[in-house]
Amino acid sequence: MSKSGCLYIVATPIGNLQDITLRAIETLKSVDAIVCEERKEGSKLLKRLNIKANELIPLNEHNERGKSERVSEIMMLLHQGKNLALISDCGTPVFSDPGAVLIQQAVSFNIPVIPVPGPSSLMATLSILDENLDRFVFGGFLPRQSDKRLQELKNLDKSGYPIVLMDTPYRLNRLLDEIATAFGKGRRITLACDLTLPTESIFRGSVKEIQKKVAGRKAEFVLIVHASRRGS
């Protein structure tokens, strides 16, 4: 019986290309094919890194779920002994990005799944907090419907821990408005925008203060709603 290949989960830069790790570069150079969210973005990244990929295989929310022929195709390559790397458009794959279904399949067939750690917008944001963060709740992307978003925020707040939120750039101001509605404009937050890019900005303060500073702005972001100081 022929030996199966390995699936490498490779973190890529979230903005600054110099954040790529030496191991990530060597892995992307050595694998037989690279599984990416979008062929255009994957090709652009590899070109900037001067890496020539043998093959780029798009895997995203449109072709991963259900009885996915694309996942079956990728699994066939792994069964044939091909080594593959999974990348997202930026940052650490699978975390709020496609890839979980593929990993589930690989694990079910005892195919090695190997992490190649590196840039992560979540860890980058947590690393610059000005208070100890022993625990937190990851809220991720909220539902699209306004009423469900507000209800989800209130449910997350019941934990009593800081809440980590993400969303698309054009919903930044909407999310701030919703946090103000759910928790009040005086609630303390930390907002990290465009991490590692020249436009990187870190905002700390009340919702009201930060709303004024980022009004109308669109940016990639991670937002932390600090736990309320009940009884203070």
Question: Is the same domain home to 51 and 142?
Answer: no
Per-residue model confidence as pLDDT tens digits over 145-195: 999 999 999 999 999 999 999 999 999 999 999 999 999 999 999 999 999
Residue after which a domain boundary falls, among 75, 91, 119: 119
Question: Is the same domain home to 220 and 144?
Answer: yes
As a dihedral over the C-alpha atoms of residue 104, residue 108, residue 110, residue 114, rounded to 10 degrees, the angle is 10
Instruction: Kindly state the average pLDDT of the residues 80-93.
Output: 95
Instruction: Kindly state the average pLDDT of the residues 81-89.
Output: 96
- Cα 20 from Cα 30, distance rounded (Å): 16
- Output Rg (C-alpha) for the chain, integer angstroms: 20
Instruction: Kindly state the average pLDDT of the residues 110-122.
Output: 96
Residue after which a domain boundary falls, among 65, 96, 119: 119
Question: Is the same domain home to 104 and 168?
Answer: no
Cα torsion 57, 61, 62, 66: sign: positive
Query: Residue 164: which domain range?
Result: 122-225
Residue 164 lies in a domain: yes
Quote the number of domains for the chain.
2
Question: Is the same domain home to 115 and 212?
Answer: no
CATH number of the domain enclosing 153? 3.30.950.10
Q: Which amino acid appears at position 184 of this protein? A: G
Question: Is the same domain home to 141 and 184?
Answer: yes
Lowest-confidence pick of 13-27, 31-45, 84-98: 84-98
Question: Is the same domain home to 41 and 137?
Answer: no
* Per-residue confidence (pLDDT) for residue 160, from 0 to 100: 94
| Helical spans, DSSP H, in 31-163 | 39-48, 69-79, 100-108, 121-126, 146-157
Residue after which a domain boundary falls, among 60, 88, 119: 119
- Cα 162 from Cα 179, distance rounded (Å): 13
Residue 231 lies in a domain: no
- Cα 33 from Cα 74, distance rounded (Å): 9
